[in-house]
């Protein structure tokens, strides 16, 4: 539907609750790449739509906001850039935000951020 929206309507921000279910059954798949995975969980989805020329700048601005909040709480944080081969077909660029859990002695993913673009238009940014 965004293809039909004129630029003067941007930015558009949508927030919603999302119930998520993973396909893994039993122990297999619960812990991948050092991360604990839940089979069922709730999350808040935040979608923001901007003009294409602003998208990359807005993406990094949101990333900075996430880091700022985590740093306020003095939480040990790391950002993982998702490998191009692991990106879903809609994402141009994705980061996972992980925090260190001293009780479990491992990194836990708490958030992810994806930039979804018209990929053919932005192919030159990857180079």
Quote the Cα angle for 99-111-81, to 5°. 85
Report field, pTM of the whole predicted structure over 0.75 = no
What's the pLDDT at 124?
45
Q: Determine how many CB atoms are found less than 10 A away from the CB of residue 21.
A: 9
Question: Which has more confidence, 46 or 83?
Answer: 83
For residue range 7-53, what is the model confidence (pLDDT) as tens digits? 677 778 888 888 877 665 555 545 555 556 667 778 777 778 888 78
Architecture of domain 2-126 in this structure: 2-Layer Sandwich (3.30)
Q: Domain map of the chain by residue range?
A: 2-126
């Amino acid at each position: 539907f965004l293809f039909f929206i004129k630029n003067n309507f941007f930015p558009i921000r949508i927030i919603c609750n999302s119930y998520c279910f993973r396909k893994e059954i039993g122990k297999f798949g619960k812990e991948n790449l050092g991360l604990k995975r839940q089979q069922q969980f709730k999350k808040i989805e935040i979608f923001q739509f901007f003009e294409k020329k602003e998208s990359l700048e807005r993406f990094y601005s949101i990333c900075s906001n996430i880091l700022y909040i985590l740093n306020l709480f003095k939480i040990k944080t790391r950002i993982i850039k998702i490998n191009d081969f692991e990106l879903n077909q809609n994402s141009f660029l994705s980061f996972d935000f992980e925090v260190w859990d001293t009780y479990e002695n491992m990194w836990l993913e708490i958030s992810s951020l994806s930039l979804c673009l018209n990929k053919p238009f932005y192919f030159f940014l990857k180079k």
